[in-house]
Structures are given as structure tokens and as C-alpha cells.
Structure 1
């Protein structure tokens, strides 16, 4: 059963337009950012401008105050007795910004010369005051987007993060974007703006090791700094990354890690671009691929072009040039400062087509929904309609039924009608496919449509009366499949079904109780040659880094998801995963696509062993004393499952939960065929096998098992995932737990962290 509900009828497979807002950023603006400058920028194609919040006059005033305080400290007998200086409020000379309607198209930039995370408490105190004054004033002027340069060094990250957390509360609409390099240091030299406060830190607060540190920066160091900031700020939805893209792209692993983060701004300095043969700025293929990924997000980032040239003046010079000026202009024509902008617009217009699943689910990327419970709830027609749009699933079901019909004809002969029943017929798409398979193979069938939903039952009867393919030949049964006695024969007896078809699979294969339903209806299946479609299915999972989903769940109130605040972490969600990173990948060369390590948790097959079901009935009848440890008499205990899986993690990261997928064998023919048709028909949502088994299928989104507290995973660690499918004969639920281990001397494993045991028991699937 698919996973999009309610308003999903508005979904369309049409290609959505590529949206890209482009801004212009200068590290040293030579003119104030006014409404006139913004109009000029927009006239050449920019959408946004960055604007410094304060002027060089303010910087000079702060430096003078700092210098004066240092002189006082030098003359004071005890430095501790001198209070830190207080920066007086801003004056009109300190800022060019004023409240204007056009400010909605501006991104304010805090002073890049401050050092909030400085070890020197004086520098840190001055910097925090500057930062707070600027953020508060920008918010007062109606500018909600504020660009903040990241920590000067990683050692001051915690102090920096604390100041950012305080600043998030300075305005109700403040959005802070922390400028971080993908790796190493920022390409744009912020020290060019003049004196940086980090240079003025007193020597006693500068460890000798850091005075001349030329060590190669850690590959993931910048990401880890951001991760600390984001964690200390409690995954605030008002905090995001302004990611500076380097000239040489880092490894795919690091690109994917940044992709999973809330990148709201993409800084593209002049140095990021290359020059082609004609002298025009271009990006490498790696840069273009990364940009394409970001533009497919539900909320794509804005692009900022940094120091690529000033905004054209837009004013014509009516004065007659001198002969010398005319000659200079002919030899050196003025540079076109919009080439970088034109190139990005070209990339925007030439984006490749999105995969069908993305077109189908546009607007629902990373939107968590509670899984459907079609066994206990009667679905709406609009929900069925969305499922029926899948271009692959029903075609594959038809192929499976055709193979099964031909095999049964070989086994039973041509003189017998094959009895085919759809258990859970919905609005009848599988019934139609059965009739089409019968027509194509020439095998006569007697079709049954069994459906418990009284509303869908009405539609099935109408369709049987008016659909020319059905032509009244389908027997429509209003019943829960588990209580259906089976097809009636001409002599009034109850017969058996030759092929039992169902589409009860959920995003984790068994989360919509397919095992329980098919066990309950197996009594109608012919015991000798009866065929179940599907024949088997398996659940698969892998650990994920997905700050987007964690932040979303944190911000949701209990009324959003009809449960208590604590219970929202104990429920698996169906979600179109989009902005995430796999924590465990299979080794590959840097040029290859990263392949996630997705492992099987457990599997089910049908029909189940008759002895197994007989044992379950005996327990239900009270003839056996043993009960189920989870509760009940153990009738459904044979459908409980558990697993322990190990995932190797090469690079450090943060785990926010588990992604779940499924694979299913609809039908596997035992007979050899000469027409080159596949003998096995399979469906898969597993990202490793989906392209081979059921490419472009859209019926199922993955399932997500969240962690209440994200887990840090060190480089080279191993994650051990334990999961259970539990039952008390009344409902089914899942439990999951994660442990992280590292190797220590002697080859021993040392546990470094463990999650809570999460359990969906209180919100389990009712049988």
C-alpha cells in the first residue's frame, strides 16, 4: 500500500520549474546598499543583495574602545578589578540600514572582523556585544536573513554556538545563516577588511601550538564545527548553513554530508569558477552535479555570487570621451560584471529532468506522515487513486499473474477455470490486471474481489456492472479477508482459490500487517498447488544522518501528530527521504556513486507452513499452556522477528535514525521459458536494488525509525542495530536500539554510546 494520504491528490507528474534565487555579495562594498542599488541589481537579473549591518566608522569606534581598555588594563594594578567595556548603542553613522519595504530582498551581514569564540575573554566580550547589536538592529529594520561568519577556529566553537543561540531570540523572524567552508578555510579573505579582533588577542590567551599552526585541516573539521553549533542550538529551524563552495570539490562522502544539512545559502566566490576557452566563467562537472542535487530539494538554497564584480551603474555617460579615453576603451573594453550571473541562469534553465518519484512526490520531500493502517481504517477514494497512478507496480503484478496462470495451465490442464482472488481489492486495479493477464495468456479465470471497506465495495459492484473488461464476471465479496470462507462452487460447497493476490505491503514490507492478513486468509488457498502473489518479502534498513527530519520532529507539537511530545519519537514514519546522508557505504572509488550498505532485517514467505499455522491455532484454542512473553496466548508469535546488524562507518557523522525499505518476490516460476521473459517478477524500494527490480516505481516511500537523541559516530566506528517486530496477538509494533563501537588496541571493541530503546507499542498496528 502506498504512503501518500489526503491532499496527495494534488500531486502531478509534471516537471516542476527549477527555482533559483541568486544574490550578489561583496566583501568590501564601496557604496551603501540602498533601494536604488537594489533596483539596479534586480534590473540585471539579481534577486538579492547582501548588506553590511555596520560601517567602517563603527569598526573604528569599537577598535578605539578596545585600545583604550587595554591601556587601562596595562596601568591597573589588578586586571581583574577592571570591568569589561560596554559598547554604546548604534548611531546613524554606524549603519547605513534603515527600515524599508525593499529590505525583504536583502541579506544582512554581521561584521566579519569579530571573534566571538576567542579564548581572550575581552575579545569575546567585545565581539558578542557587536554581534548582538548588529543582529538586533537588522531585525528592527525588517531584515530576517542574516549572514554570520563561522568561528575563527574550532577551539572557540562552543562559545560561538552559545552566542548564536542567544541571538536567535533577538527577533521573532530572525534567520541566521552561518558561513562555513565545505572543508579547510574560507576562500574569501575576511582579514582584507582591516584589523581582525582575533589578531588583538593577548598572548597569554594564545596557546603556543596555535600561534603558527600550519597543519593540514581535517577533512571533516568544518562540518564537525557546524554540527556542534547546530546541536547546541537544538536544531533550531531558524538556523542554517551558508556553505562556501571551494574551487576543488571535496570527496563525495563530504559532499553528501553537507547535502544532508540545512544549506540555505550557497556562497560561490569568484575563485570557485574556472575560465573556459572563450574566457567565460564556468563550473566543473562536480560543481554542477552538486548544484543540481541542491536545486532538487524541497526548499532549494539561494546562491550568492561573491566578489564577481560590482553592480553596473546603469547610467549613460553623455560626455564626449577624449581621444586617449576612446583609445583605452577600444583596447580595454569594460568587463561585463554579470557573466557569472548569466552562467548560473544558464545552469538554472538547463537542469536535467527529475526522476518520476521526485515529480510524483514534489512538495512532500522529507515530510513525515504516520503509516496507513488499512486493516483498521477504511481508506478514502482519493488515497486509492494516488496509488493507482504508479506506472510500474500494476504492470509488474500483471506479469506475475500471467506467469502463474501459464504455470497452472501446464499443471492442471486447459479444461479448468483458474480461480483468482484479490484479497483487499480496494477500487479494483489488481482485478483489472488479472483480467488483462487472462486475456493475454488465453487462460480462463474466475475472478473474486474481496474487500472489507463498505465504501469501496459499492464502487467495485458498480465497476463490475459497467466496466466492459469486467463485464459482470467478477464476484464481489464484502468481507474481511480473514473471515471469508472462500469461493462458492456450483454444487453449493466452498471451493479453494488457485491464485491469491494482495497488495498489503507497507514501506517496511510487513508494517501494514501483510503476514497476519495472509495467514488469516490462507485457509481459502488450495493446499496442493495454490499460489500467493506476493510469494515472499523482506525488510531492509540502514542508518541515516538526516538533520532535516530531526529538526522537523523537534518542532512538531503533540497536536500535530495526535500523541504526546515524547511518543513522537516512538513511532516509525513514512517519508519521501530527500535531504539525508548514508552513514555506512560500500567502498568504492571516488569517481563512483556512493552505494549505501542496506542490510536485510527479516523476511516472510507465503503460503506459510500448514504445521506452523496449526500450532498457532492450537495455542489460540487454549490447548497449550505456553503464552507469549509480550502478552496474549501466542497465536501470532510465529510472526515476531528480530535482528542484529552491524554497519561500518568510515567517516564521522551523526545518526538521527534508520531508513527502512523492502523487497518482494511477486512470483518466481519454476518452469524454464523459451520466450526470454523473466522467470521472477520482483519489486523493490531498496536503493541498492530498485533500479534493477522495479525502476521508477512510485507507490512506496521509505519508512523512518527516528532516534530521540542523535548519536555521534566517530571515524571508523561500527554501528550495531538491534530491531524487533513484536506482537501480543492484538497488535504489532517495532522496537529499535543502536550501539556505537570503536576498535581499540589489541583489536578489542569498545562501546562509546548507546541509544534509548525505542518502542511503538503504544501506537502499534491493530490486528
Structure 2
């Protein structure tokens, strides 16, 4: 049982929907809005506005300074010899510090609510060292000043092109430097989802003014939709996944394929920006978005930290906002003057038409589902260390969380009912049967690891539903939970249950009523499964108690479980783990986490599914326990010494529970993997009636199977095996995943390795990358 922290979905209100937080941006705005203009924008329905850090005066000053520098440099060149002209130590232009004429942004009580924009005319990617140098100086001055004023969010225009030369790396280096200039503000890189031909930003840059060599994209050229993501990956990698670096993603007119949508979904989105050209007009002339745009926005708004939406150039523009300033300029305007100024405002009253439409979309979103309750949403991408159920005693509140999932217990009850009903149909030999009459309608049942008793209740209910007589034992090692069970047996179970306080591995077995000798168990029920199936030592626990199962007909519920893996991209989780500098083993812990903001690296292809089975455990299985092993080899248990186990120093009594897998995942598009997502499936009971009269009762947390097998089950979140360093892979690559379940008879841990292979011919591939060998041995699960 894995701690999910989730609440019972039945207790939540699911009719609420994600909220849109709408902002207004005018690309021609050069001055910060005054109070009246700011209020006018808010009154038109927006929640926030953007503000330029510097103004047109600063731009002109920088341009004139560079012109003067170029003129002086030409004069120097006329006087210098050719050798002197190439001297790298010649003076370079230095931008003077800001003055009050260069900005209208100042500290204020509402500065934290403004989204500040750096100058869009700088060109950090320029091949001209003077222009890139000026651009870097301007960027540092602006972010430092905005940080001084108290701004919390600073938007920076991303690279204009994704060339393979030094431009993007140069840009990334500048952003890294800017992060050092600001101590509290977040930097937001504004990038398009992909480069749409003829729809690039039109703002004139310093390179356009002084070079004029920038080439517009060729609309006939084949589009590589991942180049913009390539640039972002370079930027955030250089900045070491800073937790103050985010994305503002420009939504295109034509929505790209799902693969790219999911890639951006996994990234740290802060804003979605939508320009006027993205909207269409309906028959009434009102703005609308296509169904594909609506689906994309609805998907992104499901994030716990949902991105804010900025509408670009949809009004009110500078001319509209001039009405407020015109009235204010006249100390005592006449009614005619005030009326004339107000008539110039667009729209004349009410909400901005684009805001009205976005509010309509907000109301049309699908309501939250049972898997999107506030309790579950709060656990999106929140890392938790797995439980140590054998080493630690759980608290009542933790048990209560487990019990809040009716789906899991409904499936368990269904499995128990199937087992009891088929036992009668097949008249299988019973633990209470005799040699002359092997079948006895009264069954011996045991719940091992009873906790606070939810499975005990379900066994009793199943027995009543199938009219089966049972003798029931509940085994629990937690002395505190045992007190609760004693009370529950009196209050709810009418003393029908025999309670045993012990570790299930040391239990001597049930002693039936009217007998002094222990007997065997017909049906053994446990809930020892973890997020990876075996990660909470279900195999080891069942090894220690399955010797009490009646042979050959005794049944274990669950009967079997399988572990599954898939490589994923999850920048947020990587950044979270990387920030845990105080924990030297942070990247070697398999975390339980409700994976949400992720991108699956692998695609669904024949023979290589996205989710692949790593291994399986089936119960019961014949196995030597440590004491049986000692007796078999002719010496007392306390004298068992190191022997032939796979781990040096182990005697091999738990060797049968070691596992290994090697899986191949196909990745048609390039990307980066940050680790492995782990899931499990379990067959609680499979019908033993020939002809298929019964059914298979299963539970699953696999994303493509959970709705079919155990819809809305919340008891288990997936497990995440992180990589110490993000592993980049090219297009048409294959990820080879190797994983081991290791044991030395005292503990269990995992080891994992990821390798990247690229095809270079129809029958040939080469290794282009690999992760380190990771091991959770130092944080192993204790037996």
C-alpha cells in the first residue's frame, strides 16, 4: 500500500472548473500605464497588465550611441594600420546607466502585480559582437532595475531563430548571467510553440537596424516543429534547470501535432500568450478559437499551477486608453468635453470582446473529474519517499488515507467473492476437510497485515454475499493498530475475528475452533502492494506466511502482480530533486509521485509498447525460508553464514525474489529523458472454472489500463526512478533500459541504467549516450 495522500473522491465537489487568469499586453506600449489607464484595462475584464521596463527614449539613446560608435570606429580604422584594426583589445561600446528619462517604471504598491517586459529590440543571438554585447548590457540593466523596483515576473523575448550556430548558446549564456542579477524575480522566456512561416515577431531589433541581413523564413521550406523546443532545452540546460526560469508559450494559429503539445505540457509553463491573429471571427463577427485551440488550452489548464493567459494586441490600445488621460488632463472638463473623450473609448462599455469570449471558454471547460479533486490535484508532481512498512509502524491517519479508496476495496471484495463462490462450485479440498472428505464448506481465511481492518470487513461481506461459512484470522504487527482492531472486533465484527499481534512472517498459523493444533489457510488476503508492485516487499512478506496456505488448493489474493516501466521527460521533478543539495542520495531514491506534468519519451509501435513489463511475481510459490534453508543444509539458523548469494555476504535465501529486465523503447522524435516512470498491475483472482464462467479481477495503475481495470482508483501513485543527469536522445533513437531488483537477504533495492542508440543504417545503430548506473542500496527497503 502506497501513501497517496488522496481524499475520497466521493466527498469532493467535481462541478468546479479551472479558472482563467487573463492578462493584457500591447506590443506597441512604451510607457507604464498610469493609475487611470490601469483601472480602465482592469474594468474591461483583464486581471493584470504588462509593463515595459524602459521606454522609447532609452531605445533612441542606445541606437544613437551605437551609431556614434560605428562612426568613431570608422575614423579609427582610417587612422590605424591593418594590424592595429584587428587588435581584439580595441574599445567596445558601453551603455550608460539608466536615467529617469529612460523609464516610467518605479517602485509602487502594485508593482508586484505587473508583468514586466524587457526590450524586444535587443538581439542576444547577433553574430555582431558589438550588437550582442550591447544587448547583454541592456538586458542586465533592465532585469536589475525591475528587480530593484520589486517586480516579481520579468518576460524576455526568446531567440528569433533556432540556428545551429553560436546564437542560441550565446543567448543562453546571457540568461544565465541575468539570473545572477535578480535575486527574487522569475525570468520568463517567451517562445513560440513552433516557428510558423511568415508569423514571426515583427519587432525591429538592433540587428535589423544596423545589419539588415536577417532572413525571413521560407514558407515553402519544410518545417521542423521541434527547433523552438531545442532552443528552450539549450537555455534551461545552461541555466541548470533553475527554479526561477519559466516559459511563456506563444500559441500558434495552427495547432501542431499531439507529440509537440505534450512536450510543451511537461515544461515549466508560466504563461500562454495568444495574439489577435490566432482568433477567428464567427458569423456575428465575434472572436472565436478553433476546437483544437480550445482542447489545447483545456489540457494545459489542468495543471496544478495552471498557466496564466496573456492576450496580445486585442485592446484597449494606446488610443483607447488616451480617453482617460484626456479627461484627466483637463482639471474641470465640461460635460461636452468629457462626453467627447468617453465616446472615443473602444469598446464603449462592458468587457473587452476577447475577454468575454475567454470567459465563455472558461465556463465551457469539462468539469473536474473524480481524479481531479483538490486533494488529488495538490499532489501533482509532489515527491514522496516510499514507505518502509516492515521497518516502521504507520499512523492511524495514514491508514485512513488508504481506506478512502472504495475502488480498491470493491475489487478486493469482488475477488474474494469469486474465490469463495468457485470453491463451492469446484468443491476443492479445504483446510478443515478430512482425508475421507477433503471438501469442507467452512473455509479458513486470513488477512495478513490487517491495519485498521478494511480488508477484514470485506472478507466478512464477501462471506455473507456468497453464503460461505468461514473462520477468519487477522494478523497485524503494529501494536497501536492492534488496539484499534480489538475495539473494532467488539463494535463491528461481533467477535467473529481471531486477532493475532505478530509479524506475519513469524505467525504460527491458525488454530481452528475446537482444536489445539494449528491448521492451514484456504484464502490468504493481503494488501502489501506498492507503486511498483514489489517495492514494499510484498514477495518477502508472502514468502514468510505462504507456508500456511493449504496445498494444493490454497489461494493468495492477490495472485500475481507485474511491474512496468516507461522513460519520461519531467523537467519539474528533475529541478525539484536537483535543488535538494543537502541530500547526497536524492537522485538514487525511487519516489512515489502523482506524475502529471510529463511527456512520455516512447511512442506506441509494434512489439515495443510505451509501457513495458519489467517482471512478475506469482503467489503462492514453493520457496525455502531462512529456517528451512538452515535445516536443509544441516546447521542451526543462527549459524547460517555467507554463501552463494548474488550479493557478497548473502546466503541466497531471498535470491528467488531478485529480478532483472532489459527493455527497448522506440523514440521517433528527439527529446530528453529525466528518468523512468514505474507502474504495476495485479491479478487479484483469476477464475479456475473451465469454460470461462468466472472472471478475472484486476487492479492497475497503468495509464492505458486503469480505466478498464480499476477506474478512479487512487490508492497508488506511480513510482519515479530519476536520472542524475538529463539524457538527450536524437530523432529515431532507441532507449535501452536495464533494471535490477537486488537483495542481500536483509534488504531490497533497485539499480537502473539507460542507454541511447541511434540508427545509422537499415541494420546498423551506434551508442550515442548513457546514464550512470543508479542504485537505491543506501536507501533500501529493509526486510
Give TM-score scaled by structure 2 length: 0.89
Q: Equivalent of 2:122, from 104, 111, 114?
A: 114
CA distance in 1, matches of 2:632, 2:232: 58
Secondary structure of the residue aligned to 1:65 is helix
1:443, distance to aligned residue in structure 2 (A): 0.8
* Correspondence for 1:537: 561
Q: Equivalent of 1:307, from 284, 295, 313?
A: 313
CA distance in 2, matches of 1:398, 1:438: 10
Q: Are residues 1:367 and 2:382 paired?
A: yes
For the aligned residues, what is the CA RMSD? 2.9
Q: Are residues 1:760 and 2:776 paired?
A: yes
Q: Report the CA distance shift for 1:201/1:752 in structure 2 as closer, same or farther (over 3 A).
A: farther
Q: Equivalent of 1:649, from 667, 674, 679?
A: 667
Secondary structure of the residue aligned to 1:364 is coil
Q: Equivalent of 2:767, from 740, 743, 751?
A: 751
Secondary structure of the residue aligned to 1:638 is helix
Contact in 1 for aligned 2:593/2:719 (Cα 8 Å): yes
CA distance in 2, matches of 1:30, 1:748: 57
Q: Report the CA distance shift for 1:188/1:309 in structure 2 as closer, same or farther (over 3 A).
A: farther
Q: Which moved more, 1:689-698 or 1:638-647?
A: 689-698
Secondary structure of the residue aligned to 1:578 is coil
Contact in 2 for aligned 1:150/1:179 (Cα 8 Å): yes
Secondary structure of the residue aligned to 2:596 is coil
CA distance in 2, matches of 1:10, 1:230: 37
Q: Report the CA distance shift for 1:687/1:618 in structure 2 as closer, same or farther (over 3 A).
A: farther
* Correspondence for 2:502: 479
Q: Equivalent of 2:447, from 397, 403, 422?
A: 422
1:38, distance to aligned residue in structure 2 (A): 2.2
Q: Equivalent of 2:205, from 193, 196, 211?
A: 196
Secondary structure of the residue aligned to 2:737 is strand
* Correspondence for 1:400: 415
CA distance in 1, matches of 2:251, 2:179: 25
* Correspondence for 1:451: 476
- Residues 652-674 of structure 1, C-alpha deviations (whole Å, 9 max, x = no match): 11100000000000000111589
1:262, distance to aligned residue in structure 2 (A): 0.4
Q: Are residues 1:59 and 2:59 paired?
A: yes
Q: Report the CA distance shift for 1:159/1:417 in structure 2 as closer, same or farther (over 3 A).
A: same
- Residues 525-571 of structure 1, C-alpha deviations (whole Å, 9 max, x = no match): 1012100000000000000000010011111242xxxxx33x11111
* Correspondence for 1:561: none
Where does 1:540-579 land on structure 2 (aligned, <5 Å)? 540-558=564-582, 564-565=583-584, 567-579=585-597
CA distance in 2, matches of 1:392, 1:402: 15
CA distance in 1, matches of 2:238, 2:707: 39
1:92, distance to aligned residue in structure 2 (A): 1.2
1:186, distance to aligned residue in structure 2 (A): 9.2
* Correspondence for 1:149: 157
Contact in 2 for aligned 1:507/1:574 (Cα 8 Å): yes
- Residues 287-312 of structure 1, C-alpha deviations (whole Å, 9 max, x = no match): 11221222111111110000011166
Contact in 2 for aligned 1:582/1:596 (Cα 8 Å): no
Secondary structure of the residue aligned to 1:118 is coil
* Correspondence for 2:353: 339
* Correspondence for 1:636: 654
Secondary structure of the residue aligned to 1:361 is helix
Contact in 1 for aligned 2:645/2:744 (Cα 8 Å): no
- Residues 675-696 of structure 1, C-alpha deviations (whole Å, 9 max, x = no match): x7x6100000011211111111
Contact in 1 for aligned 2:590/2:722 (Cα 8 Å): yes
Secondary structure of the residue aligned to 2:249 is strand
1:625, distance to aligned residue in structure 2 (A): 5.2
1:185, distance to aligned residue in structure 2 (A): 4.9
Q: Are residues 1:666 and 2:684 paired?
A: yes
Secondary structure of the residue aligned to 2:683 is strand
Q: Report the CA distance shift for 1:216/1:628 in structure 2 as closer, same or farther (over 3 A).
A: closer
CA distance in 2, matches of 1:611, 1:729: 12
1:243, distance to aligned residue in structure 2 (A): 0.1
CA distance in 1, matches of 2:128, 2:177: 20
Secondary structure of the residue aligned to 1:104 is helix
1:454, distance to aligned residue in structure 2 (A): 0.5
Contact in 1 for aligned 2:524/2:556 (Cα 8 Å): yes
* Correspondence for 1:602: 615
* Correspondence for 1:591: none
Secondary structure of the residue aligned to 1:357 is coil
* Correspondence for 1:501: 525
CA distance in 2, matches of 1:253, 1:179: 20
Q: Report the CA distance shift for 1:617/1:307 in structure 2 as closer, same or farther (over 3 A).
A: farther
Contact in 2 for aligned 1:374/1:512 (Cα 8 Å): yes
CA distance in 1, matches of 2:12, 2:209: 58
Q: Are residues 1:357 and 2:371 paired?
A: yes
Contact in 2 for aligned 1:733/1:765 (Cα 8 Å): yes
Secondary structure of the residue aligned to 1:165 is helix
* Correspondence for 1:592: none
CA distance in 2, matches of 1:13, 1:659: 28
Contact in 2 for aligned 1:419/1:447 (Cα 8 Å): yes
Contact in 2 for aligned 1:616/1:634 (Cα 8 Å): no
- Residues 354-407 of structure 1, C-alpha deviations (whole Å, 9 max, x = no match): 332331412110000000111111011101111111121000000000010112
CA distance in 2, matches of 1:697, 1:753: 38
Contact in 2 for aligned 1:596/1:688 (Cα 8 Å): no
CA distance in 2, matches of 1:127, 1:242: 20
* Correspondence for 2:108: 100
Q: Which moved more, 1:542-551 or 1:406-415?
A: 406-415
Q: Report the CA distance shift for 1:217/1:520 in structure 2 as closer, same or farther (over 3 A).
A: same
- Residues 202-245 of structure 1, C-alpha deviations (whole Å, 9 max, x = no match): 59xx7xxx757634442100011001001100100100010000
* Correspondence for 2:193: 182
CA distance in 2, matches of 1:202, 1:109: 24
Contact in 1 for aligned 2:31/2:55 (Cα 8 Å): no
Q: Which moved more, 1:546-555 or 1:629-638?
A: 629-638
Where does 1:256-335 land on structure 2 (aligned, <5 Å)? 256-310=262-316, 313=321
1:582, distance to aligned residue in structure 2 (A): 0.3
Q: Report the CA distance shift for 1:386/1:287 in structure 2 as closer, same or farther (over 3 A).
A: same
* Correspondence for 1:442: 467
Secondary structure of the residue aligned to 2:471 is strand
Q: Report the CA distance shift for 1:758/1:12 in structure 2 as closer, same or farther (over 3 A).
A: farther
CA distance in 2, matches of 1:213, 1:67: 28
* Correspondence for 1:28: 28
Where does 1:240-255 land on structure 2 (aligned, <5 Å)? 240-255=246-261
Q: Report the CA distance shift for 1:50/1:484 in structure 2 as closer, same or farther (over 3 A).
A: same
Contact in 2 for aligned 1:113/1:191 (Cα 8 Å): no
1:172, distance to aligned residue in structure 2 (A): 1.5
Where does 1:518-533 land on structure 2 (aligned, <5 Å)? 518-533=542-557
1:187, distance to aligned residue in structure 2 (A): 8.0
CA distance in 1, matches of 2:90, 2:10: 65
CA distance in 2, matches of 1:143, 1:617: 73
CA distance in 2, matches of 1:172, 1:703: 34
* Correspondence for 1:515: 539
Secondary structure of the residue aligned to 1:600 is strand
Q: Are residues 1:488 and 2:511 paired?
A: yes
* Correspondence for 2:488: 463
Q: Report the CA distance shift for 1:13/1:375 in structure 2 as closer, same or farther (over 3 A).
A: farther
- Residues 80-105 of structure 1, C-alpha deviations (whole Å, 9 max, x = no match): 45311111111111111111011111
